[in-house]
Amino acid sequence: MSGGRQRGFTYVAVLILVATLGAVGAAFGELTSHAVQREKERDLLFVGNEYRKAIASYYRGTPGAIKRYPQSLDDLLEDRRYPNPVRHLRRHYRDPLTGGPDWGLLRAPEGGIRGIHSLSQEPPVKSGGFAYRDRTLEGAATYAQWHFAHDGDSPLGLVPPRAQETAK
């Protein structure tokens, strides 16, 4: 009779152990997923700012008094407005969130591309504590609202928060 009770106790102990391991595994998976998402966000911040800097370089490097934005992202790789082509961007980057080569383009009123954004509609993990240059990203509902834009009229080339809101 006591052997049956011990087997029942062992069975319950194994069930508790399996449930505990399942819960720990799920928590670990969630933590890992969160860490992967934060890494993608860091990559998006890096890539977005690389494009913003390249667009600013193209804009400031426009010959003559009237500054212009690039007509395509390819213009950042090889700016043919000079006798010797200038490279404002080393290479095209993929969107870290979608994995694709396509970006949303922010057009300037006078023509050309003044910025880019991800096409991902996922909500961001990071919602605050951005660097000054990225302060307009705070409170965005999706990654597609993380706009990396250049404003030619601003001393630093950064889009003021109010102007960013009207661009959405």
Query: Can you give the residue ranges of every domain in the chain?
Result: 2-167
Q: Chain centroid to CA 126: how far?
A: 10
Residue 115: its H or E element? strand 113-117
Percent of the residues in the chain that have a pLDDT greater than 90, as a whole number: 51
Q: Are 92 and 133 in contact (CB under 8 A)?
A: no
Query: 0.95 cut: is pTM over it?
Result: no
Q: Which pLDDT score, from 0 to 100, does residue 166 have?
A: 44
Alpha carbon separation from 71 to 33, 57, 78 (Å, rounded): 37, 14, 12
**100-155 pLDDT tens trace:** 999 999 999 888 999 999 999 999 998 888 989 898 999 999 999 999 999 876 55
Q: 75: closest CA among 55, 60, 94?
A: 55
Q: Which pLDDT score, from 0 to 100, does residue 75 have?
A: 95
